[in-house]
Amino acid sequence: MKTIAFFFLILLSIPAFSKIGTNKDYNIISQNDYNSNLVKGKDVILKRYIVVPDLNKNYKEIFNENNPDEILSMFSFMLNKNKSKEISQYILSCDKSKDIGLLISGLYHFSNKEYSRSIIYLEKVQDAKFAFLRSLLVADCNYEMLVDKKNYNSILQFYQISLDLARTEQQKSIIKNRIRFIKYR
């Protein structure tokens, strides 16, 4: 009986422990939550965060939304909660001729550890508003595709691009922590 109860508890808790989609190597988090983790002294180095402006719980409205910031916020919430059915539906219907559609598609493929596919979409994103997130995801994709993670020097240039695009101290902190992770992994 205890085994069944324990198994049931595990099944109920799976969505709470999900990371970014099915990719357990990264965590998606809002800017406010990231800052809160920093203030509280929680680990922000070993947990590689994809930081987005916000996570909007009204994700079911994504199909009617036109604001790129809201779309990113809703889609990020769906990834965080691993809403696979809604994610798949949205990916099929999103407009990939727009920067937000390309960014979302790149993020989706990143969440499925399809790094080369992710880069194909991300490299097409032109909107300067998404430049930092795009460059960080491209850098992370290149790192993940390394055969020998100890030979990371070849991908540091991608993180340098992200650092050059960083406009806030938070963004600079994210890059510096990512590089620490890579060096001391």
Calculate the dihedral angle through the C-alpha atoms of 128, 165, 132, 159, rounding to the nearest 10 degrees: 140
Instruction: Kindly state whether residue 104 falls inside one of the protein's structural domains.
Output: yes
**Domain total of the chain:** 1
Angle (CA) 23-24-25 rounded to 5° is: 95
pLDDT above 60 (res 15): no
The range of the structural domain enclosing residue 102 comes to 19-184
Q: 18 or 163: whose pLDDT is higher?
A: 163
Q: Using CA of residue 106, residue 109, residue 113, residue 114, what is the dihedral sign?
A: negative
Is residue 13 a part of any domain in this protein?
A: no
pLDDT given at position 3: 46
H-type alpha helices, 40-98? 68-80, 84-93
Residue 5 confidence (pLDDT): 40
Residue 153 within a domain:
yes
Percent of the chain at pLDDT > 70 equals 89
Residue 4 located in a structural domain: no
Per DSSP, 147 falls in state S
Residue 112 has pLDDT above 70, yes or no: yes
Is residue 52 within 8 A of residue 73, CB to CB? The reply is: yes
Please report whether residue 7 resides in a domain.
no
Residue 21 clears pLDDT 80, i.e. is over it: no
Mean pLDDT score, 122-132: 97
* pLDDT at 14 > cutoff 60: no
User: Does any domain span residue 160?
Assistant: yes
What pLDDT does residue 50 have?
93
Residue 8 is assigned to a structural domain of this protein: no
**Mean pLDDT across the chain:** 88
